[in-house]
């Protein structure tokens, strides 16, 4: 059972670990031709070590006060100026505490269904939610016992001891994906996807790395940032 705090369901947080994340998605039906790998640095020579093509990036960052304040201003600016989002973007809201890892993974793979084959739980969830609103997708995740069970199993497989579900963790996952040559930041805490301008299949890694750098610059005192890339498995 998911823990509940003040009426909110809470899951055990996931560790930012590419092996754990990959196995979690395999257990739910993602093709084993794809996997996550660590991005060890955002400088050009280190990005050059990342397997290509990159389907998505997962960024884990601390929800520090400086970052939350910057995000608030960004949302206010977008609400004032507008934010064009392609209707093909798969986006869902997050209503389960500590489930940002699962929401980020779903954003990563469900926005890449043309290139990443899905089966089992993932295919079932994708088909059931494809025509739902972001809110209804989030509520469906709340009720999905198959995904919850896979999440809880993966949360216990990390290299560090998982905190209890009742604990609200500060680090937060978001996904960065390419949809119709536009780079989107997908964060279930926010009301909508955020466009970060043009990109392409070839430049997604470099363009998304710039967005990751901007997150880091919001609070230079923080060191708790990690980046993973969803990439094809090399033979």
Positions marked active-site = 100, 172
Residues 6+ apart with CB under 8 A from 81: none
Q: Where are the alpha helices (DSSP H) in the chain?
A: 18-28, 44-47, 65-81, 100-110, 120-129, 134-143, 145-155, 204-218
DSSP labels for 129-182? Answer: HTTS-HHHHHHHHHH-HHHHHHHHHHHTSSSSPPPPTTS--SEEEEEEEEETTE
Matching residue, tokens 């209707």 = 87
Give Cβ neighbours of residue 167 (< 8 Å, ≥ 6 apart).
13, 98
Phi first, then psi: give them for residue 6, nearest 5 degrees. Answer: 55, 40
Cis peptide preceding 212, ω within 30 of 0: no
> What are the tokens at 97?
């505490």
């Amino acid at each position: 059972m998911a823990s509940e705090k003040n009426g909110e369901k809470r899951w055990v947080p996931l560790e930012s670990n590419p092996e754990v994340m990959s196995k979690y998605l395999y257990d739910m039906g993602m093709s084993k031709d794809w996997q996550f790998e660590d991005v060890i640095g955002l400088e050009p020579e280190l990005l050059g070590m990342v397997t290509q093509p990159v389907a998505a990036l997962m960024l884990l960052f601390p929800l520090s006060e400086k970052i939350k304040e910057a995000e608030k201003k960004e949302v206010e600016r977008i609400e004032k100026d507008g934010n064009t989002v392609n209707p093909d973007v798969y986006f869902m809201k997050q209503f389960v505490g500590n489930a940002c890892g699962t929401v980020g993974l779903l954003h990563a793979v469900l926005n890449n269904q043309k290139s990443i084959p899905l089966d089992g739980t993932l295919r079932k969830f994708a088909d059931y939610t494809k025509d739902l609103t972001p809110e209804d997708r989030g509520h469906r995740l709340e009720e999905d016992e198959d995904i919850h069970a896979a999440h809880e199993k993966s949360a216990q497989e990390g290299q560090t001891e998982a905190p209890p579900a009742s604990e609200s963790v500060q680090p937060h996952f978001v996904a960065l994906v390419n949809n119709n040559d536009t780079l989107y930041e997908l964060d279930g805490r926010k009301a909508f996807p955020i466009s970060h301008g043009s990109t392409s299949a070839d430049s997604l890694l470099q363009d998304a790395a710039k967005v990751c750098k901007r997150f880091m610059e919001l609070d230079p005192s923080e060191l708790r940032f990690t980046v993973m890339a969803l990439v094809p498995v090399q033979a």
